[in-house]
Amino acid sequence: MPEKFDVIVVGAGPAGASCAYTCAKNGLNVLLIERGEFPGAKNVMGGILYRKQMEEIIPDFWKEAPLERPVVEQRFWFLDKESMVTTSYKGLEWGKEPFNNFTVLRAKFDKWFAQKAVEQGATLINETVVTECLVDEDGKVIGVRTDRPDGDVYADVVVLCDGVNSLLAKKLGFHKEWKPDEVALTVMEVMKLPKKTINERFNVNDDQGVSVEIFGDATQGALGTAFLYTNKDSINIGVGTTLSSMIKKKMKPYKLLEYVKEHPMIQPYIEGAESLEYLAHLIPEGGYKAIPKLVGDGVIVAGDAAQLVNAIHREGSNMAMSSGRMAAETIMKAKELGDFSERVLDSYRTDLYDSFIGKDLKKYKDAAHTFEAYPQYFEQYVPLMNKAMNTMFTVDGTPKWDKQKKIMQSFTAGRGKLGVAKDLYRAWRVVK
C-alpha cells in the first residue's frame, strides 16, 4: 500500500527547499523528491543570493549557511571591442550584518538548505525522478509517480518546484513549450583562483565579494548579459542570451563564453584560473506575460517552474524562495480547511501577484521584448557610449563643447534625434 504524505514537493532547489522547510516547520508530513545525486548536484546559478527573502524563511541564516562572500560592490560594465564604460557602487555596510546579498555555490547551498528542511522533519529522497503527477478521475492531483519500482506515492497536495522547463506542469497542461524568447540560455564556468589573487584583482579582502554585470560586446550585441562573481577561492563567469537571439545570430553558447573569457577587458581577471566545472542552463525570461497556470486541484507551481525570474536584474532564487514559502502558507490554510481544491489554493496566486514578485515582474513585463524588438540598445548604444567617452577624454586640443556636439551627432547619425529620444524614453519606461 503506497504511502500518503500531507505534501509532496518535487525538486530541492530554492523553491522546493523553502516550501518543504516551511511546511515541515509547521508540522506537516512532507516528502521532498530530488532527481540529482544530492540537492544542488546539478543546479546552476550565477551565484547571487538575496538576503531578504532567505531571511524570511531562516532568520540569521548567514550564521551557518555555506555562503561564499557577501557582495560589497556591484559593478556594471558596458563593453565595446577594446574599451568599456563602467559604473559601480561599493558600500562596506554591505559587508556587515545583516548584509545585502551573497555569492553562493549552489552545490553546497542547496544541500545545506534541503538538510535544514530535513531537520524540520521533512523526508528527502535523492536520485529519484518524478515522471508525472497522479491525477484522479475528477482531474485532482493526488500524488506523483517516480521512475522507481513501486514508485507511486500520494499526498493531499503536490508542489511542483522542478525548475525552468517544468515537464510536470506541462504534462498537466499548465503551460506549453516555452517560446524561444521566453527563455535565455546561460552558460557558465566555475574557475579556481587563489583567495589572495581574487582579493588583489577585485580589490577586496577575504570576506568581501564583488558582482560584475556585463553588457554590450560580451554578448556580441545579442540580447543578454554576462557576469563575473567572486566566490571564496573561485570565480563564476557566465553569459546568457535569449534563445531567440542565439538562433537569430546563429551563436554557439560555449563559443560565446570562450569569447567572453578572451575579451581583453575580462581576460586579466581570470588569467591563470583553472576551470572546475562547465554548466549550461535555461533561465525563464518571459516574465509577467509568460507566467503559466499556477494552481490546480491538489497542485501548486513555484519558482522557475512558474517562470518567476526578473530577467533585467537576474533575480530568480529570491522569487523561487518566496513563492515556495507562499505555497507553504497557502497549504497550511488549506490543511485547516481540509480542502485542497483549486478554489482554496488559489490564494497562493493572489498572494504571489500582490507580492514584490507580481509587482516586479509586471513592472518589467515589456523589458525583454522591448530589447528584443529594438536591438540597437545592445548593438549600437553601448559602442557609442564607449566612443563618446573616448572622444571626451582623449586630449587632442578640441574644445569640450565641440566634442559634445560630435558625440551627439554620432548618436543621432543612425536614427535621427527623434529616434534616439524615443529609444531612450522606451528604455527608461521598461527598466525604471
Ligand X SMILES: Cc1cc2nc3c(=O)[nH]c(=O)nc-3n(C[C@H](O)[C@H](O)[C@H](O)COP(=O)(O)OP(=O)(O)OC[C@H]3O[C@@H](n4cnc5c(N)ncnc54)[C@H](O)[C@@H]3O)c2cc1C
Residues forming contacts to another protein in the complex (CB under 8 A) are: 3, 31, 123-125, 128, 146, 148-153
User: Rounded distance, CA 208 to CA 72, Å?
Assistant: 6
| Least spacing, CB of residue 99 vs another protein, in Å | 26
Reading the block at residue 3, the C-alpha cell is 504511502
- CB-nearer residue toward ligand X: 319 or 420: 319
Q: Which spans in 181-289 are helix H?
A: 195-202, 243-248, 253-262, 267-270
By CB under 6 A, residue 222 contacts ligand X: no
| Least spacing, CB of residue 123 vs another protein, in Å | 5
Residue 188 site contact among ligand X, another protein, none (CB < 5 to 8 Å, cut-off depends on kind) = ligand X
By CB under 6 A, residue 317 contacts ligand X: yes
Residue 317 site contact among another protein, ligand X, none (CB < 5 to 8 Å, cut-off depends on kind) = ligand X
Number of C-beta neighbours around residue 149 at 10 A = 5
By CB under 6 A, residue 285 contacts ligand X: no
Residue 292 site contact among ligand X, another protein, none (CB < 5 to 8 Å, cut-off depends on kind) = none
Residue 224 site contact among another protein, ligand X, none (CB < 5 to 8 Å, cut-off depends on kind) = none
**Which residues have a Cβ under 8 Å from the Cβ of 423 and sit 6 or more positions away?**
374, 376, 377, 381, 415
By CB under 6 A, residue 331 contacts ligand X: no
* The one among 9, 48, 257, 385 contacting ligand X by CB under 6 A: 48
User: Rounded distance, CA 251 to CA 169, Å?
Assistant: 30
By CB under 6 A, residue 241 contacts ligand X: no
| Least spacing, CB of residue 394 vs another protein, in Å | 43
Q: How distant is the alpha carbon of residue 75 from its chain centre?
A: 18
**Which residues have a Cβ under 8 Å from the Cβ of 249 and sit 6 or more positions away?**
220, 221, 222
Question: Taking contact as CB under 6 A, which single stretch among the options 32-40, 71-79, 331-339, 412-420 is the one that binds ligand X?
Answer: 32-40
Amino acid at 215: F
CA 166, 167, 171, 176 torsion-angle sign: positive
Torsion angle in degrees (nearest 10) through CA of 339, 342, 345, 348: 180
Q: How distant is the alpha carbon of residue 170 from its chain centre?
A: 21
By CB under 6 A, residue 20 contacts ligand X: no
Residue 407 site contact among ligand X, another protein, none (CB < 5 to 8 Å, cut-off depends on kind) = none
Binding site for ligand X (CB under 6 A): 10-16, 33-36, 39, 42-48, 129-130, 161-163, 186, 188, 238, 281, 283, 303-305, 309, 314-318, 320
